[in-house]
Structure formats: structure tokens, C-alpha cells
């Protein structure tokens, strides 16, 4: 650890035997008699982009009322306890995802880029998360984090350049050691990855030393955080025991592993801890691939996700599809509640985050991208109002929302892709 006589550095880590664990923001990282906002430890906005495939049944996604007194739709109902943090944005169109012979691939690729694969030239096609990473991701160990709950798919959601996509990691063990198991050499990292013990055992001495340097409140924060890390280790071991080491599931049909919910929740917990420890400020997560053949049998379903998404307006099939779409919202709502419970300076992580939850497709039966299902969760460090449903005129560019998110996060971007302006009401 690196300590100063006055206060801990925001970059203080626990080290031991080749392992290192970053720490959350502590009171001891704020110089005495200095306002938090004037220190390098001041909380900054975190950006999250959570994608679900196959669009949404829009009449069950879009609230019927606009403004602050809207009623949550069936698919968004799990977010109702977080009403003040939720902004539903409807009426947006992504032209970059239209007019394609491969609609599933295009909607996935265009969600954060707003351009078709054929338009990727002259600087176009960089995804919004990577634009943010260039501006606000350089002061963290990881400029951005790309995650997926399923391997495969047509492509990534994230593009560093017009032609360079970033791999979306689907193995939570790899994500865990990427965030918390950084040895000084490859051999050390490999040794840690093979161990059956706890990563926290390697930093026990450093933890004891830290606790001597901080007050009781900080000791509670450190204790709760390390308990969360240990719980993740336990859940990883359980997940791998149930599935062997085949976290990278085979291609279709994927079937229904008993712990898919555990896998999804575990990766979202890793995203929360990455934000809590300032390992990164930007994370993109795909809860499933396009044309997914996963069977959500634990929801009482026997039909794979993709065939189910082609519902043909059959009421019974729509009802079954709603179970899947609501299930995804439930997992995100649990993640948001977790963020709300994590202190982050003078606020909590949900207060300081903005998560765009949505899809690159609208009606899965038509493969269209107008209007898209979009919701923001979080206040973006005080830059997002929350607690409202905003409905925009037909064909308002989806890129307007992306440009607004960038601007609220402190990225100097008045325009993004085919945007025509910022959504000032957000």
C-alpha cells in the first residue's frame, strides 16, 4: 500500500503475493478540511450500457402517460421502486439499424454507433462507450469494460475504431481476475487464477495495516466491500462447480442452465464493484446475444428465446415473451438497487451513475428499429433529472440520447453520429 501522512491516495490498493485489490472511496482519501468536490477523490459519473436482444413488445414497454405521473408498464414494473432514478425515453429511431439483410447483426452493432456496417468509414462507427472512454476513461486502470452473458453472437456492441470491435467477456472468472487479481507478472496472475484459495488471503496483511490507518467508518466500508469480494469468490466457485469450467456455453441450443440467473447477477455485481473501486467508469453489458436459442425453462417456458420473439401478435406467445423481457428488467432492477446501497462519497453509486437499458430492435416480429425501447437509470452525478417518461416526436434520432449521455458525463460532444440535438429534458 502507498500511504501519506495526510490522507490515502485515491489509487491506494491492497497488495500481497502478486495480487492487488483496489479500494472504494474512503473518508481517509479526502484531505482534512477540504470539500470533496475539490479533491481528486470527488465522485464522477459512471456510464453503463445494458443491452437485451430481440427488442421489446412495445405496447407493454412504453408507459401510457408522459411526465412525472406515469404508470410503469408491465415490462418496466420491476423498476418502479426506483421511480425517482428512472427516465423512460420513447419515440426514438435508429436509422443506422434499418434497411439491412441481416437485421439481428445490424441492430446489435448499431445500438451504440448509429451507423450500419456499410457506413463504417471516415471515423464513423466508433461506439458511444468508446467515445466516452477516450475522454473520461483514461484516468482509470481500465478505460472501459465489455461484458456479455452469452458467448458468440454476430459482433460486439463496442467499437474502439470504425473497424475494431472489442471482445465482450462472458467468463466471470476472467472478469474477476481482470479486476481484482492483477499480479506483477503473467506467471503470478496464472498462479492466482489456478488457486483454490481466496484472493483476499493474499492481501490479509495489507488489510490489517490499512485498518490501523483509517477510522471506524472507513473500516466498516472496507469490511463491507471485502465481504462483497469474498461473496463473489464463493459464487464463482459454486457456479463453476455446477457447470464444470464450461462458463463459455456451447452454441445453440443453449438450453437452461440452472444458474443462468446467478451468472447474470454475478456479472452485474462485478460491474458494480468495478465502479465502486474506480477500476473503470464505463461498462457495457449484453444480457444475451441476438438470435439466442436459450430456453428460459425456469420461467415455465419450453420455447427458445429467438423463435419466441417471432410472436406474430399471437396473444399467448406474446404473454410468454413478456416473461423473458420482464425477467431481464428484474435482474437490472436488482443491480440498480445494489448500486443504491453502495456509498460513493457523499452519495451512492446509483446517484452517480447513468445506465442506459434498452435494445437495438423494437418489434422483434418486424425487425424494426423505430421506436426503440430505452430507459435511463440513475442521476449521473446530478446531471439526470429522473422520475419521468419523455416521449419525443416520431423519428427523433436515437443518437440524440447518446449525445446527451456523453454531454452529461462531461464529454465535450454536442453531436454524435446522426444526432440533431441534445435532449434537454432528460
- Strand locations in 222-308, DSSP E? 282-286
Tell me the C-alpha distance between 68 and 87, whole Å.
9
pLDDT of residue 6: 46
Q: In this structure, is the dihedral angle defined by the CA atoms of residues 100, 104, 107 and 109, taken in order, positive or negative?
A: negative
Does pLDDT of 70 surpass 90? yes
Interhelix angle 128-136/398-408, rounded to 10 degrees, is 10
Instruction: Give the pLDDT mean for 209-233.
Output: 83
- Lowest-confidence region among 51-60, 88-97, 148-157, 408-417: 148-157
Tell me the C-alpha distance between 389 and 392, whole Å.
10
Tell me the C-alpha distance between 224 and 247, whole Å.
28
pLDDT interval class at 220 (50, 70, 90): confident
Q: Tell me the per-residue pLDDT of 114-130, one tens digit each, with 9 for 90 and over.
A: 998 777 766 678 999 99
pLDDT of residue 243: 57
Are 281 and 136 in contact by the 8 Å Cβ rule? The answer is: yes
Cα-based distances in Å from 203 to 1, 16, 185, 361, 401 = 10, 5, 17, 45, 43
pLDDT of residue 241: 66
Does pLDDT of 216 surpass 80? yes
pLDDT of residue 230: 82
Residues ≥6 apart with Cβ < 8 Å to 229: 21, 180, 199, 200, 273
CATH numbers and ranges of domains, the chain: 1-42+180-247 (no CATH), 46-170+251-408 (3.40.720)
- The 145-148 sheet, strands edge to edge: 145-148, 282-286, 46-51, 353-358, 374-377, 86-93, 388-397
Instruction: Give the pLDDT mean for 309-316.
Output: 93
Greater confidence, 283 or 140? 283
pLDDT of residue 25: 82
Does pLDDT of 330 surpass 70? yes
Could you tell me if residue 9 is left (phi over 0), alpha (psi between -120 and 50 degrees) or otherwise beta?
Answer: beta
pLDDT of residue 122: 63
pLDDT of residue 217: 83
Tell me the C-alpha distance between 252 and 104, whole Å.
15
Tell me the C-alpha distance between 400 and 416, whole Å.
7
Tell me the C-alpha distance between 324 and 291, whole Å.
14
Greater confidence, 306 or 155? 306
Does pLDDT of 423 surpass 90? yes
Share of the chain above pLDDT 90, in %: 54
Whole-model pTM: value is: 0.85
Greater confidence, 40 or 20? 20
pLDDT interval class at 301 (50, 70, 90): very high
Mean pLDDT, the chain, rounded, equals 85
- Lowest-confidence region among 92-106, 227-241, 317-331: 227-241
Does pLDDT of 87 surpass 80? yes
Q: Tell me the per-residue pLDDT of 227-270, one tens digit each, with 9 for 90 and over.
A: 888 887 777 777 766 654 444 443 433 443 458 899 999 999 99
- Lowest-confidence region among 47-56, 58-67, 139-148, 258-267: 258-267
Does pLDDT of 396 surpass 80? yes
Amino acid at each position: 500500500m502507498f500511504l501519506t501522512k495526510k490522507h490515502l491516495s485515491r489509487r491506494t490498493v491492497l497488495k500481497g503475493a502478486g495480487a492487488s485489490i483496489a479500494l472504494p472511496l474512503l473518508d481517509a482519501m479526502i484531505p482534512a478540511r477540504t470539500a470533496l468536490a475539490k479533491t481528486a477523490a470527488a465522485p464522477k459519473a459512471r456510464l453503463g450500457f445494458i443491452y437485451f436482444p430481440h427488442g421489446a413488445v412495445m405496447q407493454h414497454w412504453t408507459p401510457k402517460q408522459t411526465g412525472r405521473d406515469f404508470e410503469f408498464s408491465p415490462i418496466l414494473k420491476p423498476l418502479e421502486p426506483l421511480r425517482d432514478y428512472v427516465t423512460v425515453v420513447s419515440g426514438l429511431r435508429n436509422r443506422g439499424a434499418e434497411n439491412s439483410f441481416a437485421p439481428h447483426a445490424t441492430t446489435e452493432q448499431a445500438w451504440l454507433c448509429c451507423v450500419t456496417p456499410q457506413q463504417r468509414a471516415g471515423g464513423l462507427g466508433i461506439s458511444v462507450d468508446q467515445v466516452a472512454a477516450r475522454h473520461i476513461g483514461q484516468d482509470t486502470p481500465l478505460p472501459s469494460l465489455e461484458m456479455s452473458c452469452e458467448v458468440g453472437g454476430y459482433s460486439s456492441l463496442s467499437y474502439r475504431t470504425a473497424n475494431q470491435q472489442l471482445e465482450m467477456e462472458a467468463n466471470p472468472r476472467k472478469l474477476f481476475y481482470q479486476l481484482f487479481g492483477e499480479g506483477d507478472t503473467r506467471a503470478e496472475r496464472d498462479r492466482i487464477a489456478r488457486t483454490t484459495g481466496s484472493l483476499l488471503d493474499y492481501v490479509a496483511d495489507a488489510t490489517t495495516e490499512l485498518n490501523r490507518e483509517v477510522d471506524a467508518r472507513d473500516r466498516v466500508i472496507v469490511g463491507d466491500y471485502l465481504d462483497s469480494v469474498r461473496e463473489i469468490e464463493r459464487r464463482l466457485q459454486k457456479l463453476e462447480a455446477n457447470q464444470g469450467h464450461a462458463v463459455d456455453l456451447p452454441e445453440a441450443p443453449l438450453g437452461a442452465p440452472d444458474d443462468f440467473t446467478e451468472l447474470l447477477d454475478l456479472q452485474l455485481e462485478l460491474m458494480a464493484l468495478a465502479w465502486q473501486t474506480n477500476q473503470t467508469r464505463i461498462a457495457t453489458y449484453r444480457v444475451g446475444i441476438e438470435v439466442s436459442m436459450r430456453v428460459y425453462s425456469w420461467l415455465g417456458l419450453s420455447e427458445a428465446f429467438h423463435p419466441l420473439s417471432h410472436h406474430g401478435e399471437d396473444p399467448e406467445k406474446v404473454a410468454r415473451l413478456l416473461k423473458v423481457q420482464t425477467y431481464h428488467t428484474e435482474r437490472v432492477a436488482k443491480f440498480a438497487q445494489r448500486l443504491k446501497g453502495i456509498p460513493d462519497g457523499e452519495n451512492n453509486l446509483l446517484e452517480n451513475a447513468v445506465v442506459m437499458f434498452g435494445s437495438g430492435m423494437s418489434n422483434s416480429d418486424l425487425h424494426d428499429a423505430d421506436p426503440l425501447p430505452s430507459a435511463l437509470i440513475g442521476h449521473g452525478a446530478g446531471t439526470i433529472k429522473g422520475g419521468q417518461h419523455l416521449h419525443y416526436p416520431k423519428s427523433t434520432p436515437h443518437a440524440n440520447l447518446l449525445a446527451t449521455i456523453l454531454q452529461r458525463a462531461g464529454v465535450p460532444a454536442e453531436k454524435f453520429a446522426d444526432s440533431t440535438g441534445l435532449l434537454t429534458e432528460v
